[in-house]
Chains A and B, each alone.
Chain A
Amino acid sequence: SQKIEQNSEALNIQEGKTATLTCNYTNYSPAYLQWYRQDPGRGPVFLLLIRENEKEKRKERLKVTFDTTLKQSLFHITASQPADSATYLCARGTGRRALTFGSGTRLQVQP
């Protein structure tokens, strides 16, 4: 089966630093990967989508990469702020649009 693996341990960083979250997938490369943010008690919020043929995508302080050799996506938040504290979810797309989510990595940015 196609799996998405994210580091289940929380990531704690200091304000102003760059946060880097890892997402690994198994089997064949998905057509695209998506990253979402989820706050406690709320629905996920879409952040970025990166396609298989794209190496890197940016949006404001966010950057995502897609390495098909390593079967890995990295998600970066530069100049992190306490407001960035949340759980970040990686998801792989299937040919039929359903998303397979990882369990998420909780990010805590200390002021």
Chain B
Amino acid sequence: NAGVMQNPRHLVRRRGQEARLRCSPMKGHSHVYWYRQLPEEGLKFMVYLQKENIIDESGMPKERFSAEFPKEGPSILRIQQVVRGDSAAYFCASSPADNYEQYFGPGTRLTVT
């Protein structure tokens, strides 16, 4: 059973560009979470999604950030007009419907130049 997959693993964007981060959950997992880890800081929750629904986006910045988990395909975290402060590791996790354990992907390291 393949684990959570994220791509790209590394992403470099210039200020003002858009960043798209992809996450494929583990097979059989219907819950997806996105977390951000700034350098030398802890993991911060951003958003929790189920198929076609955003369940909790209390950790998501109000502007420029959006997330989706379509019926078909991976979950996408989209950051518009990136700024240097967006540079961080973005982790996706998934869990099955009947369990609270979260399984993390390897992360996407975003660098904004």
Enumerate chain A interface residues (CB-CB to B < 8 A): 32, 34, 36, 42-46, 49, 89, 91, 93, 96-104
Contacts and interface: CB of A to CB of B under 8 A. Distances in A.
B48 A97 contact: yes
Nearest to B104: A43
Q: Is the interface of B mostly helix, strand, loop or mixed?
A: strand
B41 interface: yes
In the complex, which range does the number of interface residues on chain B fall in?
20 to 34
B12 interface: no
Contacts of A46: 101-104
Contacts of A96: 48, 55-56
Contacts of A100: 45
Given A43-B106, A44-B104, A97 B43 contact: no
Contact of B43 (A32, A49, A101): A101
B69 to A, nearest CB: 14
Contact of B101 (A34, A102, A103): A34
Contacts of B91: 43-44
Q: Is the interface of A mostly helix, strand, loop or mixed?
A: strand
Contacts of B44: 101
B107 A93 contact: no
Contacts of B105: 43
19 contacts: A34-B101, A36-B104, A43-B91, A43-B106, A43-B107, A44-B93, A46-B102, A46-B104, A49-B100, A49-B101, A91-B43, A96-B48, A97-B100, A98-B56, A99-B102, A100-B45, A101-B44, A103-B41, A104-B42
A32 B107 contact: no
Nearest to A48: B101
Contacts of A45: 104
Nearest to A51: B100
A17 B8 CA distance: 40
Given A98-B45, A98-B48, A102-B42, A93 B104 contact: no
Contacts of B42: 89, 101-104
A32 B102 CA distance: 13
Contacts of A36: 104
